Amino acid sequence: MQLTDLPNISKVIASDLRKAGINTVEDLKQTGSKDAFIRIRLQADPEACINKLSALEGAIQGIRWHHLSENTKADLKAFYESLKKSH
């Protein structure tokens, strides 16, 4: 299975993941959405937004990011907001 076989993972996001050293589905699952997002921001797309973070989490869960649970969405939003404050 390729990264682009996962829900939400476009060719652009797959390219960002590879630039961040995440080359396989297993790499993404082991890294987790938050760490993958940080790596993407540092190495590929410094302007990555919360939608990309949500896409990564949805991909790991095997669902479209729109269908993430409300708790997961709130957790991702809090994480994203914490990154904005630290910069």
Tokens of 50: 């919360």
Q: Look at residue 59 and give its three-state secondary structure.
A: helix
Domain boundary assignment for the chain:
3-85
User: pLDDT for 9-19, tens place per residue?
Assistant: 999 999 999 99
Residues 15-58 have pLDDT tens digits of: 999 999 999 999 999 999 999 999 999 999 999 999 999 999 99
What CA–CA distance (Å, rounded) separates 18 from 23? Answer: 5
**At residue 61, does pLDDT exceed 80?**
yes
| Cα 6 to Cα 21, 78, 82, distances in angstroms | 17, 25, 27
Q: Please give the model's pTM, rounded to 2 decimal places.
A: 0.95
pLDDT greater than 80 at residue 86: no
* DSSP label at residue 43: H
- 3-85 is classed CATH 1.10.150.20: yes
Question: What residue type is 37 in one-letter code?
Answer: F
